[in-house]
Amino acid sequence: MPRSSQIYELIKQGEDQQLDFKQSITSAHKIARTIVAFANSEGGKIVIGVDDAGEVIGVDAEQEKYMMMQAGKKYCDPPVFIHFIAMEEGKNTILVAEIVKSKTEHRALDESGEWNFYVRVRDQTILVSDADGQNLADKHNLKPIPIMIEENQGLVNHLKQNDFITIKDYMKMMNISYGIAKRSLNDLVEHKVLGIHEVNHVQHFFLKKSWK
């Protein structure tokens, strides 16, 4: 069974176009939306047993697998095949559900009994009226997140007084999701505002000298 190094590689990616974190599966209807969104887009992985902040909390892998299989068979039309991989981190087990990009359009059954079409846009599952809506979603997904220095002045000031910031620290500072925090920091790395190094599987972002 794959162990912690692979788990942390997934966690470091953060939620994005092809990766979603779930603490556990509580609703077959809701997870069916994510399943068909991945199938209708570029495929992806649902990591179960990890919270939105990237903490491994663990699950009963067999129970979660059963819930996912029920959702894929009964709440997706046509049904979506899911491949499962269990991973261990200490005493905790997480379940990775892999969905491949489909050549067929899939819909998910909602709580009111209606079948709806979903796509994946960045780290969100988006309801669209029909398959044509994916063209709009694809275009939206290609747009870079606008990151302006003045919009991140609080972060810059923080890093002028502190050596580094982690994704979780920035997430709490800005009251945003882990995925958005990670993308924002990585965009600043790409714009050469921040540098990055890793300590014990945790990414540390620091302000480059040219911006101090």
Q: In 3-state terms, what secondary structure has residue 12?
A: helix
> CATH number, domain at 189?
1.10.10.10
Q: What is the span of the domain harbouring residue 166?
A: 149-211
- With cut-offs at 50, 70 and 90, classify the pLDDT of residue 147: very low
Given this model, what pLDDT does residue 4 score?
61
SS (HEC) of 61-115: HHHHHHHHHHHHHHCEECCCCCEEEEEEECCEEEEEEEECCCCCCCEEECCCCCE
On the question of pLDDT at 7 being above 90, the answer is no
Q: Are residues 137 and 160 in the same domain?
A: no
pLDDT band at 129 (very low <50, low <70, confident <90, very high): low
pLDDT tens for 154-171 read 888 888 888 999 998 998
CATH number of the domain bearing residue 17 = 3.30.950.30
pLDDT in tens, 69-111: 999 999 999 999 999 999 988 889 999 999 999 988 899 998 8
102 close to 79: Cβ distance less than 8 angstroms: no
Average pLDDT estimate for 141-163: 64
**Whole-structure pTM value:** 0.65
Instruction: Note the pLDDT tens digit of each residue in 18-73.
Output: 999 999 999 999 999 999 999 999 999 999 999 877 789 999 999 999 999 999 99
Q: For the chain, how many structural domains are there in total?
A: 2
Residue 31 and residue 122 in one domain: yes
For residues 28 and 98, membership in a common domain is answered with: yes
Q: For residues 56 and 16, state if they share a domain.
A: yes
